[in-house]
Chains A and B, each alone.
Chain A
């Protein structure tokens, strides 16, 4: 069963624009919410993660916004660059349960 719903499935953004990917989860026991970036032919790589005790975390151009009451979190990529073109996965985990979103293919046009 899909416990983490991710949208959109694909996203096209102009260089310099803001990319926003959203995820929603169901299991309130989840306590760790990472985002992974995957380039073609490579394994997913941890990009940024957040715990539910904070509402926002920023690392460079990447920001996670977290809404615990709505059980939603999102990834914002500021000043998107062509090199950001990849597939992004949200995930949620807690204890021995972990689920991934279906992925968002981001294309940043020059």
Chain B
């Protein structure tokens, strides 16, 4: 009965490849987020969707494209992966945008 789940947990790929990370929440929340945590543990919000509508889009390369097929899912697709994309990516959700966020377990992306 995991609240926020992500797949895969680990992702190792080569530069230039395209990859996707999937996120699902079973909390009935309206808002979902993607965060990037770098090697120094700094958490940076990338995107936020509310009821499938994009509401936050921080300065992120357009190689990153979120997709929300329904309000329980928010997937992250990354094109032309670069070494600097290596990080842990967290999905999160909340009932109201910006409040009481529940985070997934993270996906560790390693680009070689």
Chain A positions within 8 Å of B105 at CB level:
42-43
Q: Which of A36, A98, A102 contacts B98 (CB 8 A)?
A: A98
Q: Is the interface of A mostly helix, strand, loop or mixed?
A: strand
The interface residues of chain A lying within 8 Å CB-to-CB of B43 are: 44, 89, 100, 103
- A93 in contact with B100 given A42-B105, A43-B105, A100-B44 (CB within 8 Å): no
Docked-complex contact B98 and A96, CB < 8 angstroms: yes
Given the known interface contacts A43-B90, A45-B103, the answer about A96 and B97 at a Cβ–Cβ threshold of 8 Å is: yes
> Which residue, A44, A93, A99, A100, has most C-beta atoms of chain B within 10 A?
A44
Contact status A96-B55, CB under 8 Å: yes
Q: How many residues of B contact A (CB 8 A)?
A: 22
Which residues of A59-93 are within 8 A (CB) of B? 87, 89, 93
Contacts of A110 in B (CB 8 A): none
Distance of B101 from chain A, by nearest CB (Å) = 7
Q: Which residues of B contact A46 (CB under 8 A)?
A: 100-102
**Interface: B104 (CB within 8 A):** yes
Closest to B105 in A: A43
B100 touches A44 (CB 8 A): no
Number of interface residues of A (CB under 8 A): 24
Given contacts A96-B48, A103-B42, contact A43 B104 (CB under 8 A): yes
What's the Cα separation between A36 and B101 when bound, in Å? 9
Task: Report how far A46 CA is from B44 CA in the complex, Å.
Answer: 16
Q: Does B66 contact A (CB under 8 A)?
A: no
A100–B98 Cα distance when bound, in Å, is: 11
22 pairs of residues in contact across A and B, judged by CB atoms under 8 Å: A32-B99, A34-B99, A36-B103, A42-B106, A43-B105, A43-B106, A44-B90, A44-B103, A46-B101, A49-B99, A87-B41, A96-B55, A96-B56, A96-B97, A97-B98, A98-B56, A98-B98, A99-B45, A100-B42, A100-B43, A100-B44, A103-B43
A93-B99, A98-B45 provided; 9 other pairs, C-beta below 8 A? Answer: A34-B101, A43-B4, A43-B92, A45-B103, A46-B102, A49-B99, A98-B98, A100-B44, A103-B43
